[in-house]
Amino acid sequence: MKRKKIVAGNWKMNMTLDESVNLINELKQISTNDVDIKIAPSFTNLNKAVSLLDSSKIEVIGQNVHSEQRGAFTGEISIEMLKSVGVYSIIIGHSERRKYFNENDSILSKKAKMAIDNSLNIIFCIGEELSEREKGNHFELIKNQIINGLFGLDKDQIKNVVVAYEPVWAIGTGKTAENYQIQEMHEFIRKLFNDKYGSDISHQIRILYGGSVKPNNAEEIFSLNDVDGGLIGGASLNFSDFNAIVQAANG
């Protein structure tokens, strides 16, 4: 079974409303039926983005969500807030959330369960820092992030999960992951899902690569057996770069 590629743009804390509108109007030009395209603008721009892309095949997704339904959590965003503006997918566990906001496996597991229980699809991020890679702990770390974060979900629930592998050591550091390292980790991740949920699930689940995908390396990375697209950071803020990456996924 051929898995449909995903190209998801994580805009992070970038783009004013006007800048977002301009980029979205450019993104509407992208033509492909063979790639699922997603963008994650800032929370303040989600409502406008959904409105602008109402008749488009591009999905607007959230960058994060709180683990509780509602309450006294100043500055946080709830699942029902996202759904109320037409957002039904979110990113959970991004490396920056783990590193800068101390989101651990327990918090992320709760977020994942809450999202799935409330009919949201998730892109669940995992990845290792340079220190773990250099110590040779990377496979064990990734295994623990997946087991602790996702394996509380049952077979039906896990179908609503996309995994994004981020080698944090290869993002904005000048270091790059070799193709064999990318494929090796994606294959390892898929085997974990096979061991837990069986071959049908493991063949279906889509695993994205989130390590500085650019127009000049996207086609090569996306051709790897177990890579099903990319979670794109900086290159998603530029129309020509993002479009080139989508077309690379288009094959």
Q: What is the pLDDT of residue 1?
A: 63
| 217, 178 Cβ separation under 8 angstroms | no
- 166 noted as active-site residue: yes
Q: What share of the chain is helix, strand, coil (3-state, %, to 5)?
A: 45, 15, 40
Cα→Cα distances 125→19, 32, 88, 112, 215, Å: 26, 25, 17, 11, 22
Residue whose entry in the numeric block shows the structure tokens 């990377």: 138
- Distance CA(31)–CA(128), nearest Å, equals 34
- Distance CA(105)–CA(141), nearest Å, equals 11
Q: What is the pLDDT of residue 250?
A: 87
- Please tell me which residue in 66, 94, 138, 186 is annotated as part of the active site: 94
Q: What is the pLDDT of residue 170?
A: 80
- Please tell me which residue in 103, 128, 132, 166 is annotated as part of the active site: 166
b/e map 212-221, b = 16+ CB within 10 Å: bbebebbeeb
pLDDT tens string, the chain, 251 residues long: the values are: 689 999 999 999 999 999 999 999 999 999 878 999 999 999 999 999 999 999 899 999 999 999 999 999 999 999 999 999 999 999 999 999 999 999 999 999 999 999 999 999 999 999 998 888 889 899 999 999 999 999 999 999 999 999 999 998 887 776 778 999 999 999 999 999 999 999 999 999 999 999 889 999 999 999 999 999 999 999 999 999 999 999 999 87
- What are the sequence ranges of the domains in the chain? 5-239
CATH class of 5-239: alpha beta
Helix 179-197 / helix 138-150 crossing angle, nearest 10 deg: 40
Per the structure block, which two tokens stand in for 31?
């033509």
State the chain's mean pLDDT as an integer: 95
Residue 146's nearest CA partner among 102, 200, 207 is 207
Query: Which run of H or E residues covers position 231?
Result: strand 229-232
